[in-house]
Amino acid sequence: MTTKHETMTEEGTCPRCGEKDLWREDADVGVGIIYGPWGCPHCGWSESEEYDLKFGGGVQDNGSYLDPYGGLLPAGNPIAKMLSMEARK
Ligand SMILES: [Zn+2]
């Protein structure tokens, strides 16, 4: 059985766990603000399937860590190390 990636139906609410405190990166590029994908700090859902912890995100083969907001912590980063240890439990 394949897991289907959930799509956000209500702005700011996690479609997987119902968390209402979602977060996304924003970057001011001068002419406006660019937003990253919505991500859930609770279950790791991301608006973008490639960053979703259940799909392409989370701990990568090389030990780096891709967060639900599209940020990449390089292997060797203390937080990435901690998270990859968590993931191996
Ligand atoms: Zn969630």
The alpha carbon of 31 and the centre of ligand 1 are apart by a number of angstroms equal to 32
Q: How far is the CA of 40 from the centre of ligand 1 (A)?
A: 5
Kindly give the distance from the C-alpha atom of residue 20 to the centroid of ligand 1, in angstroms, as a whole number.
Answer: 8
CB neighbours (10 Å) of residue 72? 14
Three-class HEC string of 21-62: CCECCEEECCCCEEECCCECCCCCCECCCCCCCCCCCEECCC
Q: How far apart are CA 49 and CA 13, in angstroms?
A: 16
What are 8-61's pLDDT values in tens digits? 999 999 999 999 999 999 999 999 999 999 999 999 999 999 999 999 999 999
Question: Residue 40, class by beta-carbon neighbours within 10 Å (0-12 exposed, 13-18 middle, 19+ buried)?
Answer: buried
Structural domain of residue 44, as residue ranges? Answer: 26-88
pTM over 0.75: yes
In a domain, 61, yes or no: yes
Residue 42 lies in a domain: yes
Number of separate domains in the chain: 1
In a domain, 50, yes or no: yes
Task: Answer yes or no: is 39 within a domain.
Answer: yes
Q: Within a domain: residue 69?
A: yes
- Within a domain: 8: no
